[in-house]
Amino acid sequence: NAGVTQTPKFRVLKTGQSMTLLCAQDMNHEYMYWYRQDPGMGLRLIHYSVGEGTTAKGEVPDGYNVSRLKKQNFLLGLESAAPSQTSVYFCASSSTRFPPTQYFGPGTRLLVL
């Protein structure tokens, strides 16, 4: 039982390049989330999903797209990376039961030059 895994762990991009971050969970959770973490700003929600085939915008969705084609996977895409997207990205998942504990992956560190 690996919990939540993220791929890749670290990536360097040039401005304008695109990439996809992959999140996978093996806990059969309905809900999945993508956050970014920046110094002094805590974790901010980018996009989330309440089930396979559904996605919704969070607090800071601009410049990102997501897809949830399979229940266990949640993909975060950057179509044209900008230096402002340099951050650490965390994926999380939770069940529909209370309490709504979110389980986090180990993070992806992204540097955009």
Partner 1 sequence: GENVEQHPSTLSVQEGDSAVIKCTYSDSASNYFPWYKQELGKGPQLIIDIRSNVGEKKDQRIAVTLNKTAKHFSLHITETQPEDSAVYFCAASKAWGANNLFFGTGTRLTVIP
Q: Which residues here bind partner 1, judged by CB under 8 A?
A: 4, 31, 33, 40-45, 48, 50, 56, 58-59, 90, 92, 94, 98-107
C-alpha distances out from residue 50 to 24, 89, 91, 108, Å? 15, 19, 14, 22
Q: How far apart are CA 14 and CA 50, in angstroms?
A: 32
CA 106/CA 102 separation, integer angstroms: 13
CB of 69 to partner 1, least distance (A): 19
Shortest Å distance, C-beta 15 to partner 1: 26
19 or 60: whose CB is closer to partner 1? 60
Query: Nearest distance from residue 78's CB to partner 1, in Å?
Result: 20
Residue 69 vs 100, nearer CB to partner 1:
100
- Closest to partner 1 by CB, 72 vs 104, is 104
> Under a CB-based contact definition with an 8 Å cutoff, are residues 36 and 60 in contact?
yes
CA distance 90 to 113: 20
**For residue 38, what are its two tokens?**
């920046």
Select 31 or 73, whichever has its Cβ closest to partner 1.
31
